[in-house]
Structure 1
Amino acid sequence: MAEKTRGTKTARAEDVPMGPTGRPYHGFPTPPALSSHGPARIISLCNQKGGVGKTTTTINLAASLAQYGRRVLAVDFDPQGALSAGLGITTHDVPTIYDLLLDTKRDPHEVIVQTSTPGLDVLPANIDLSAAEVHLVNEVARETILSRVLRKVSGEYDVILVDCQPSLGLLTVNALTASHGVLIPLECEFFALRGVALLVETIDKVRDRLNPAIELDGVLATMYDPRTLHSREVLERVVEAFGDDVLETVIGRTVKFPDASVSGVPITQFAPEHAAAQAYLRLARELVDRGAVA
């Protein structure tokens, strides 16, 4: 009899679905519609290591939030301009975020571009942005220039996502100073894990000296491949290091992301039924559930 009872308990435990992070898997409810928009919560997507999924996450999280009725502004803050290209926006011979940084009196509405995704706008960037740090280094309160730019339009959006460049220079400090929260996309690979401590240290310095209100909204595991022991071990170490700051949603590795980028649309539009598209919709629901987004 005792054995049967133990068997029943085991069966019930096994009935609880577990996510890749080793925690119970939640579906997260569909967020209710908003009766009004703004002021925006500004979230920077940061990691000084390149190729960890910052731009992919910015594009697809922005599109997912827009799909749930949020008004979203995505800020391309990387001189490579990958976010702009990934949303099919031409950045040659047009005003960009660089022009707004150099002339803070300029109206951001002259630069904002509407995308093919309803509710999603973009502040584009191109290679000109690489010169911004040189131009801004002698400016008074140079760390707050992006904040002054975004302040002019924050009342029109529910969330502003800033796609940072892979460095911890003046542009990234500007993004962190302007932000209410930080989302860290982290590739499930050993070398990606090594640099996160330095990023967290930078966030702490910005909190101490420039922006006391900034919060860590979460660590997002990306490029996860459950078939490899390495991916599973790295994710396990991330959960050990960051605990509940690790988001339950995990983004898997798939060739659909570059395919969608070539098409200039988010994956939620390119392949809406694909697991990757569903993962970003789930990420949007999780962030709303956590209170990181209205």
Structure 2
Amino acid sequence: MEKSEEGEAMTRIITITNQKGGVGKTTTAVHLAHGLALKGKKVLLVDLDAQAQAGIALHIPPADGAFYLLTMEVKRSATAFIREQTAEVRPNWQLLPASPRLSGVEHALPSPSVSWLAESLGRFENAYDYIILDTAPTIGRLQVLAIWAADWVIIPAAPEPLSANSIQKVLRTMRSLKDEQAWQGGLFGVLPTMYRERVREHATTLAEYQRRFGKALVLSPIHLAARLAECPAFGQTVFEHAPTDRAAEEYRRLVDTVLKAR
């Protein structure tokens, strides 16, 4: 994203990704977006999953906003695009929704450039403080574009031995982009999710994450929480559904960590 005259990023883009499903990726994207909005930041959540999970979690119907972002060489102003294609979720927070049309979008991209998505998002640099990209749990060009567009990447991962392999795949993609394409972004952190401290395997895996990736790059875990799992049924986040729950406090901590890093 373009820098201001002071050298600071005018809009921070954060990609939430993992090539393994069921690890709390969309839950994290939704809660990070809402948490930042509650702090007074203007936030756009972009759903890049053809299953439209972010919209479903918020009771917002699928739509083609993300598809148009990727496939149209938009001549309209950012203001017009936002007005026509985004859904208002909460104060300060908008969603660019996905639809099943995204399932074939890799064959419809107007440009082969790895920077295409970043360039498309560039026109929103004055409209938002943060843009959160929620990717599908797959390996493919769309994930590569989302990583390239990011200033920071967060990798949610369940504390299971096999999860380390999926984390390594994302990290290999990131290294390849740095080595071959001079990508300027970086890993914000691995986020352990669905954590149960009394499960020996979880504690062991968390320690292994810290050993392999470094303690500074392993974020404070999000514990498994029934109230968090209930949220999509109400179209709410845990900040609304159970604001005093442990999960709400843990996602607030993630939000604060992001804000402090800016």
Task: Tell me the TM-score normalised to structure 1 length.
Answer: 0.80
Deviation of 1:134 after TM superposition, in Å, equals 2.0
| Structure 2 residue 82 is the aligned partner of structure 1 residue 111 | no
Aligned to 1:131: 104
Secondary structure of the residue aligned to 2:115 is helix
1:105-152 deviations in whole A, cap 9, x for unaligned? 15431211110x21111110011100101222xx43342222122111
Deviation of 1:208 after TM superposition, in Å, equals 2.2
Note the aligned Cα RMSD (angstroms). 1.6
Aligned to 1:95: 64
Secondary structure of the residue aligned to 2:244 is coil
The match for 1:169 among 140, 151, 154 is 140
Aligned to 1:223: 194
Aligned to 2:6: none
The match for 2:115 among 132, 139, 144 is 144
Give the percent of matched residue pairs that are identical in Structure 1 and Structure 2. 31
1:186-228 deviations in whole A, cap 9, x for unaligned? 1111111222112111011112233521111111111100111
The structure that has the greater radius of gyration is: 1
The match for 1:209 among 163, 180, 196 is 180
Aligned to 1:32: none
C-alpha distance in structure 2 between counterparts of 1:106 and 1:265, whole Å: 35
C-alpha distance in structure 1 between counterparts of 2:66 and 2:105, whole Å: 10
Aligned to 2:5: none
Runs of 4+ in 1 over 4 A off after TM superposition: none
Deviation of 1:240 after TM superposition, in Å, equals 0.6
1:238-284 deviations in whole A, cap 9, x for unaligned? 01111134344210011222310111111111111111011101111
C-alpha distance in structure 1 between counterparts of 2:123 and 2:137, whole Å: 26
Task: Tell me the TM-score normalised to structure 2 length.
Answer: 0.90
Change (3 A) 1:208 1:52: same
Aligned to 1:232: 203
Aligned to 1:9: none
Amino acid at match of 1:98: F
Aligned to 1:64: 35
Q: Could you tell me whether the CA contact under 8 Å between 1:100 and 1:106 is conserved in 2?
A: no
